[in-house]
Homo-oligomer: A and B are copies of this chain.
Amino acid sequence: MQKQTFLTKNQQIVLNLVEKSSQPLKAYSILFNVQKKGIKAPLQVYRALDRLVEIGKIHKIESRNAFIACQDSSCQISKATAFSICESCEKVTEINNSKLSKYLKNFKDNSGMKYSKYNLEFFGVCKKCKNK
């Protein structure tokens, strides 16, 4: 049997929830919200999340241990991600800036290491919060 290329039921349930949310969701908050759909255990959520991250449907916000739907429909894989995070309201937005991604994809330091992936998180206070 080949590795699945479609989404399984649990993956679809989790993805639907994460896509509906405008904010990153935590794993146990996802669990709580999908229990009525038959997902009972943390591992079922984590497994779905793992795969969804792997195929680029969602991203993990590492500094928040939370998951957000990919906002770029053409994204197939989570290997070049950048986010802006408001430290006041915790709003997270995926940054889709071709100059930035080009710059980072081509970045080379003197370590001789080839980078196949990066994750960038910017922090600040968003416009809305600043005007409060």
Q: Which residues in A have some Cβ–Cβ distance to B below 8 Å?
A: 62-63, 84, 86, 93, 95, 97, 100, 103-104, 107, 109, 111-127, 130
Contacts and interface: CB of A to CB of B under 8 A. Distances in A.
B122 A118 contact: yes
Counting every copy of the chain, the complex holds 2
B109 A126 contact: no
Contacts of A118: 120-123
Contacts of A121: 62, 118-120
25 contacts: A62-B62, A62-B121, A84-B113, A84-B115, A86-B113, A93-B111, A97-B109, A100-B107, A104-B120, A107-B122, A111-B127, A112-B126, A113-B125, A113-B126, A114-B130, A115-B123, A116-B123, A118-B120, A118-B121, A118-B122, A118-B123, A119-B120, A119-B121, A120-B120, A120-B121
Contacts of A127: 111-113
A70 to B, nearest CB: 17
B112 A122 contact: no
Contacts of A63: 62, 119
A130 B115 CA distance: 12
A17 B112 CA distance: 28
